[in-house]
Amino acid sequence: MIHLLFTGGTISMRRDEAAGGNVPVLDGEALVRLVPGLPAVSPFRIEDWGRYPACHLGPSDLWRLRERVREIQTGPDRPKGIVITHGTDTIEETAYLLARTLDPEIAVTITGAMRTSSDADWDGPRNLTDAARVAADQGSNGRGAMVVFAGKVLAGLEAAKTHATFPDAFEAPQAEPIGRVEGNQVLWNGDRGASANVVRPPGLAARVALVSMVIGDQGELLDCARPNHDGVVIVAFGSGNLPPGALPAIRRWLAEKKPVVLATRCLYDKVTPVYAFPGGGATLVKEGVIPAGPRTPAQARMELAIAISAGVTYGKS
């Protein structure tokens, strides 16, 4: 038995001419009726958690979703796996949160669609069927949260949306897919490997800013964000460099004992603090700034929010 948890997103949408675009319409039952191959994969049960565009989900909503998944995982009628349909805009954050804070034993596969059921090339049925197949597969045990999209299986800590409109919109910029779905088979790449320790914050209350550097930045946005946030992720250039004019603002964050994490605006690779000029990554790290590690800016922000909420160091594993 697998548990289908429907939260909305493009996979649940149709085009509404009066509204002038796509809007959420399909609930779980309606969506499943449009995916005739699903019953052959596994017995399932349906839960309509919501019908939200992903951009409408705030931190309290993500935590409520996380708590619902935890209840399903630990309840008396635990399923073999859990499938979540989700809007693609923020799958990256939700997958990271679930992968980082939940027991990995019962797999959670997250999927969605880049096309609606109004489109001839709707990708929803394939993605939902693939996600169910992965959730029901014996090899998913212990892998925790994963993103299943366009035949790829991506670890929840690594999956990122890298294209705004293509059906094959997700990849793992700092890694490789951990598996793929071919026909009726789930093919895994290697063993499970080591996974990060689970962090269990009591909630997701920490307020974390995400500030991108621009040419000639003087730190104005950093100063504006500081009074109302508990930490900040800075999106720097290249391997972690930024304009020296922003340094005083960064030092003010550090003086208030608020963590400052340094990410890169580059999609591939990560911050490597090797430049020691003013504003260089090595100089920043020496002053107490924390490299983001193998995380996109959005993942780094989620990691810092989890860490602050749990009272642990960023990236503790």
Question: Domain with 98 in it: what CATH number?
Answer: 3.40.50.1170
pLDDT of residue 207 exceeding 60, the answer is: yes
**Distant-in-sequence, close-in-space partners of 239: CB < 8 Å, separation ≥ 6:** 264, 266, 269, 270, 271, 272, 273, 274, 275, 281
Point out the residues that are catalytic.
Answer: 10
Residue 317 lies in a domain: no
Q: Same domain for 173 and 130?
A: yes
Domain range enclosing 37? 2-188
Residue 193 lies in a domain: no
- Answer whether 107's CB lies under 8 Å from 81's CB: yes
| Residue range 30-63, pLDDT digits in tens | 999 999 999 999 999 999 999 999 999 999 999 9
Residue 104 lies in a domain: yes
Residue 177 lies in a domain: yes
Give the Cα separation of 71 and 79 in Å (integer): 11
**Distant-in-sequence, close-in-space partners of 147: CB < 8 Å, separation ≥ 6:** 91, 95, 109, 110, 111, 153, 154, 156, 159, 170
Residue that has been written with the tokens 């649940």 in this structure: 12
- Choosing from 126, 156, 188, the residue where a domain stops is 188
How many structural domains comprise the chain?
2
Compute the half-sphere exposure of residue 184: CA atoms within 13 Å on the CB side of its CA. Answer: 6
Question: Domain with 298 in it: what CATH number?
Answer: 3.40.50.40
Residue 112: how many CB atoms within 10 A of its CB?
29
Residue 198's pLDDT band, with cuts at 50, 70 and 90, is very high
Query: Helices 91-101 and 59-74 meet at what angle, rounded to 10?
Result: 50
Say what the pLDDT of residue 193 is.
57
| Residue range 72-99, pLDDT digits in tens | 999 999 999 999 999 999 999 999 999 9
**Distant-in-sequence, close-in-space partners of 39: CB < 8 Å, separation ≥ 6:** none
Find the mean pLDDT for residues 236-244: 98
Mean pLDDT rounded to a whole number for the chain: 96
